[in-house]
Structure 1
């Protein structure tokens, strides 16, 4: 009986592997210019997960249809897309060029988050108010002007004598910086980095364990992540 059970498991593994391989071959043959990686099964039959341009996507078994978005499991409301992202990006934090971010320290600074933010993004402005409620945190703000009208503004923030002060005044009080935008700044590097990481919107919040969230989180939600993961 034990031998039969092992044979069944081995056969199932072969079938699953064959399905993934078949999908890879279809995509490579039909769409050679698209570079899909990390093609895997999902809990949903005939649906596969993959990465395209560093973004999580889903494919059907024919390789003809692509879905983007978040996959939830209803029974426990678990975000399976985010869980997979956390598993696949354990080194995201260590890869961030923190020297290219505006550094803001509150209290002891023991907790750490990085934020990709656009000053003309209303959700980024709301996030600033939530961050202002946090204690003992170091925030690394990557100036990420996805809107063209934000480019000069972010450059002026960086070129200000006190960039962290200029950023907080801009986001919390609506006071524009007065510094020139003509200094060496990392704004273009940040845009290229965000594009490489697949950040097509703002804000993006990255935690020190590599977990990240695209969109607004409340101060309570941020603190819950710290507590849950010992950050």
Structure 2
């Protein structure tokens, strides 16, 4: 269950039911455990704002809480520096996403690399049945020409019982994954293939970091861009984010 859904209806009535605790970590964990027993908490620490604590969840998501655990908030925390507003939440979440994405071995991806050493890379959560994923894939040669390595991970939008899931499994289990991806993105049926594969694991990871559609593009610094972007704009963003 996503954190957003959990917090959507539960927090308002929670304040009176959580006992005060002297230890902020303990108090905040008690609150979150009451909301969702298996909430994947990685760390709790003081935020840059005095009196507010930030809860790091597995996958990079961030929540905020009062020291006594009686108040929870999900949203963006900004810091104003002169005339600029810095989104501290986005910065912290991007670091968490980058950590998760960079932990995926490239051997578990379908990778399209430039002929010359790559200047930057993007990681794309993809579904072979997705029209905009197909459009983005048609521009992979242009991205490669601009020095961008494209790393695909699987995200079957319709779930693990869908046609897209079966096709993605066939891609990952093919002897030549690149050729199989090209074929699938050209709307050609692939020979069914099965093997030990990371498709379900990558789908779960996508959900955990906030992917809810495809293509979802993760920059080298963990910034998540939802939806298709033309190759020139995407290459520019990738180079700026490396």
Normalising to structure 1: TM-score of the pair? 0.67
Deviations 1:25-58 (A, max 9, x none): 3223444434534334445565543223434232
Instruction: Give the conservation status (yes or no) of the 8 Å contact 2:61–2:96.
Output: no
* Structure 1 residues 94-109: aligned runs within 5 Å: 94-109=102-117
Partner of 1:205: 217
Q: What secondary structure does 1:58 align onto? A: strand
The alignment partner of 2:61 has SS state of strand
What RMSD, in angstroms, separates the aligned Cα atoms of the two structures?
3.5
Instruction: Give 1 or 2 for the bigger CA radius of gyration.
Output: 1
The counterpart of 1:147, out of the listed 134, 145, 158, is: 158
Contact 1:40 1:49 in 2 (8 A): yes
Unaligned runs of 5+ in 1: 1-20
The alpha-carbon deviation at position 95 of structure 1 amounts to 1.5
8 A Cα contact 2:123 2:217, kept in partner: yes
Corresponding residue number in structure 2 for 1:36: 41
Structure 2: which 5+ residue stretches go unaligned?
1-21
Matched residue, 1:190? 202
For residues 76-115 of structure 1, the aligned pairs below 5 Å read 76=84, 78-88=86-96, 91-92=99-100, 94-110=102-118, 111-115=120-124
Cα separation, partners in 2 of 1:217 and 1:77, compared to 1, 3 Å:
farther
Deviations 1:116-174 (A, max 9, x none): 22234455445435545422332221122242322111122234453323323433x4x
Is the 2:114–2:149 Cα contact (8 Å) retained in structure 1? Answer: yes
Q: Does 1:25 align with 2:26?
A: yes
1:73 Cα offset (Å): 5.8
Task: Using structure 2 for the length normalisation, give the TM-score.
Answer: 0.64
**Structure 2 CA distance for aligned equivalents of residues 73 and 176 of structure 1:** 50
Q: How many residues align?
A: 206
In structure 2, C-alpha distance between the alignment counterparts of 1:82 and 1:227, rounded to whole Å:
19
Equivalence for 2:4? none
Matched, 1:223 2:215: no
Aligned residue in 1 for 2:18: none
